Amino acid sequence: MGQYLYKLPDIGEGVVEAEITAWHVAIGDAVEEDAPIADAMTDKATIELTSPVEGVIASIACEEGELLAVGAVLVTIKTEGDGDESEAPVAAPEPIKAQKPEVKAAPAAPASETPKPAPLTAAQNRRASDGPALASPAVRKRAASLSIDLSAIAGSGPNGRITHADLDAILQSGQSAAPAAVPTPTAPAAKNEPTPEQDGETRIKVIGLRRVIAQRMQEAKRHIPHFTYVEEIDVTALEAFRARANQKSGEGAPKLTVLPLLIKALSQTLLDWPQFNARYYDSEGYVSRFDTLNLGLATQTDLGLIVPVIKDAGRLSVWEMAIEIARLAEASRTNTLSKSDLEGATTTLTSLGPLGGIVTTPVINRPEVAIFGPNKIRPIFVPDENGQPVLRKKMNFSISCDHRVIDGYDAAKMMSELRERLEDPAAMFLD
């Protein structure tokens, strides 16, 4: 009887860790080759991991909702034959839940010599002037468990960000990232234990996509000074145009909703307002503007909010756009989106359709600088030129902007031009 160490594979460029959101096996379960083992979620997609061999599960790495480093042992599988750990596909760095390493003491200095404090490293000098170290929450948690001082590490990631590889290098060197202070005896700290669950209370662990959404929304609101502008648009002519288009469409053509028409008008308007079709990389200090509109389409699913991307939306006809919207919506609901479907958004549109309410104040998808939010269409009586009430169809259209790079005046002007296109839909097809 041998064993196979199945290690978390490299599941995407730049991915160093993944959250195990679901286990499909337990210790003692027999598995066949290619049988599902676990679901691993990165910041880009959820991947189903399958068994590379046939055998029996001997151990699993962590609980659902915990992070695991790429290359860490995911499961140990008992196999027939004489296989052993050498069957593992890659060398494993320390997993995120690594125990505190044993640090060898340095040789004692002669009694006649007084040890001199070690000089500050370049990283420590830089941290003293530049502020706190850049690192993800997972890296900070692991460093704390290993008693590693992040301020003394020169990160190898973008903009000096500290990665798990940097922590691995510290561990392999057998040194701590900072001199250990002499511990002072203190009373044991009281553990911050959660209060017992009360009658009628149900606690749900925040893991998977919901955890990612929570983290991103928190980062967006912490970093971005939002402001929201709302424009009222008369969509009576737009709805009439849509009804005529559906009547004249060929057999087998998709039903045209208002959304492709909204996107058509938005793609034309942003050609003159590229500052809204942009990303702000605040840590690097520059804004990227894009000629092509890759529109993120916020989609609600049973798993939570997913944002697939309509690539080069401006080149699509409204019928092609309707087909692409339907494809992305179905793939979102069935969790079959490709990596490409989730990448490259330059701005985002979020809509709840008939449930859209009167006004929304959507949260920007960082590092984008704007997010558009059409609200529901509602009938309203308005006076005509003779003062007589006339029933019209009105819709409020919201936009939230990053006030660091977009001014309120520009938002108002851009939304005014968008309103003109939507109130005269035929003109969109004459541009």
Catalytic (active-site) positions: 403, 407
Radius of gyration for the chain, computed over Cα atoms and rounded to the nearest angstrom? 28
Q: Please report where in the chains the tokens 């697939």 appear, as a residue.
A: 308
Distance CA(51)–CA(55), nearest Å, equals 9
Q: 163 is written with which tokens? A: 């990665």
Distance CA(219)–CA(370), nearest Å, equals 15
CB of 371 within 8 A of CB of 363? yes
CB of 11 within 8 A of CB of 41? no
Q: Where are the alpha helices (DSSP H) in 8-136?
A: 122-130
Give the angle 397-399-403 at the CA atoms, nearest 5°. Answer: 155
CB of 333 within 8 A of CB of 301? yes
End-to-end CA distance of the chain: 72
**Strand 36-41 to 286-289 pairing:** unpaired
Nearest-CA neighbor of 311 among 329, 332, 297? 297
Q: Is it true that the peptide bond before 367 is cis, omega within 30 degrees of 0? A: yes
